[in-house]
Amino acid sequence: MFKKLRDIKNSSVYITPNFPVLRTKRFKFSFLSVVSAVLGYSLLVAFIVIIIIVLTPARNVVFFFENEKLTEQVDKVKELEKKVLFLSKELQNFAASNEKLKYAMIIASTDSLDSNSAIYDSLRQPKKNKLRSGGNILAVFRDLLNFNSADSSQLFFIAPVNGVIIKRFEPSRGHMGIDYGIRKGTAVHAALGGIVTFSGFTPEYGNTIMLLHQNNFISVYRHCDILMKKEREIVRQGEIIALSGDSGYKSTGPHLHFEIWHNGKAVDPTKYLINN
């Protein structure tokens, strides 16, 4: 093997130009001379290219596509960061709304609540014309709304909107209320006087408002566009509490989903509405 390498090292390269002359010349070069010439030429070309790239505007052309790709990647990363932050905030809002809705359901299922409890504090708002502190919700109703003690048969609800019922009460299919087919932005009225126990957004039903009434009745208004009342506010029967819409991913279009609950159970609203 070493012998072959020595033979290559000691070998020569002959070049015979094919010129139209009477006498042909042959040029002899050693192998090392040829290798040195090739390497020197390559280095010279590389040096010239580097000089052109570094000292001339040609570098902008060379690195243009690479810089463009890097810029696109940076923009995508920034956009993804914004989306992650937005989704994180939305999840926090959803969690807070669902927690408050759970508390509202607990409050609606009882007529007595300790004013020092965490549930009461979570919904308490120090505003005028709102529920005063105290332990008996029905007593506050009688005090502020001049309600008289009445059994369920003496309570009557009015339709929250003037529209056609497009879907009936079907609890076996998970539809716990009735749907009114109305235009977006229609005024939604309180079906009965009461107190707002929940007013906020949920992913499934969008903007939702819930009212607590006498004798453990509650009414729920879902898929609203704008909520006009806040939690702990007292509302009168027929008072505008929201504007209808199609918010929430379970909405199939502009309508109002209306529910009535009694003692923690959903009931058919049409059996309680006097102007249905």
Indicate the Cα dihedral angle 217, 223, 225, 228, nearest 10°: 10
- Which residue's structure tokens are 């130009």? 17
Assess whether pLDDT exceeds 80 at residue 216. yes
- Which residue's structure tokens are 């369920």? 152
Core vs surface per residue 247-258: b (16+ CB within 10 A) or e: bbeebeebbbbb
- In sign, the C-alpha dihedral spanning 241, 194, 137, 126 is positive
Average pLDDT over residues 86-105: 63
Q: Which two tokens stand for residue 123?
A: 């919904």
Instruction: Give the pairing of strands 187-189 and 240-244.
Output: antiparallel
Q: What whole-number distance in Å separates Cα of residue 211 and Cα of residue 231?
A: 9
Assess whether pLDDT exceeds 80 at residue 264. yes
Q: What whole-number distance in Å separates Cα of residue 137 and Cα of residue 124?
A: 13
Question: Higher-confidence residue: 151 or 81?
Answer: 81
**pLDDT tens-digit profile of 174-191?**
899 999 999 999 999 999
> What CATH topology corresponds to 96-271?
Glucose Permease (Domain IIA) (2.70.70)
Which residues, 6 or more positions from 218, have their beta carbon under 8 angstroms from its beta carbon? 108, 194, 197, 210, 211, 212, 260, 261, 262
DSSP H helical segments within 109-136, as ranges? 118-123
Q: What whole-number distance in Å separates Cα of residue 113 and Cα of residue 131?
A: 13
Question: Looking at this protein, which amino acid is placed at residue 198?
Answer: F
Q: What whole-number distance in Å separates Cα of residue 220 and Cα of residue 153?
A: 20
Q: Which two tokens stand for residue 37?
A: 């010439």
How confident is the prediction for the chain on average, in pLDDT? 75
Average pLDDT over residues 55-81: 70
Which residues, 6 or more positions from 207, have their beta carbon under 8 angstroms from its beta carbon? 200, 201, 222, 223, 224, 225, 226, 227, 242, 245, 247, 248
Question: Looking at this protein, which amino acid is placed at residue 225?
Answer: D
Assess whether pLDDT exceeds 70 at residue 137. no
Which residues, 6 or more positions from 165, have their beta carbon under 8 angstroms from its beta carbon? 178, 179, 180, 181, 270, 276
User: If pLDDT is split at 50, 70 and 90, which confidence band does 12 have?
Assistant: low
| Predicted local confidence at residue 86, as pLDDT | 72
Contact 179, 166 (CB under 8 A): yes
pTM for the model = 0.51
Question: Looking at this protein, which amino acid is placed at residue 201?
Answer: F
Q: What whole-number distance in Å separates Cα of residue 19 and Cα of residue 208?
A: 97
Helix (H, G, I), strand (E, B) or coil at 88: helix
Element (H, E) at 196: strand 194-202
Q: What whole-number distance in Å separates Cα of residue 222 and Cα of residue 257?
A: 5
Domain definitions of the chain by residue range: 2-55, 96-271
Q: Which two tokens stand for residue 155?
A: 């309570």
Least confident range from 34-48, 122-136, 187-201, 230-244: namely: 122-136
Contact 236, 229 (CB under 8 A): no
Tell me the percentage of the chain whose pLDDT exceeds 90.
36
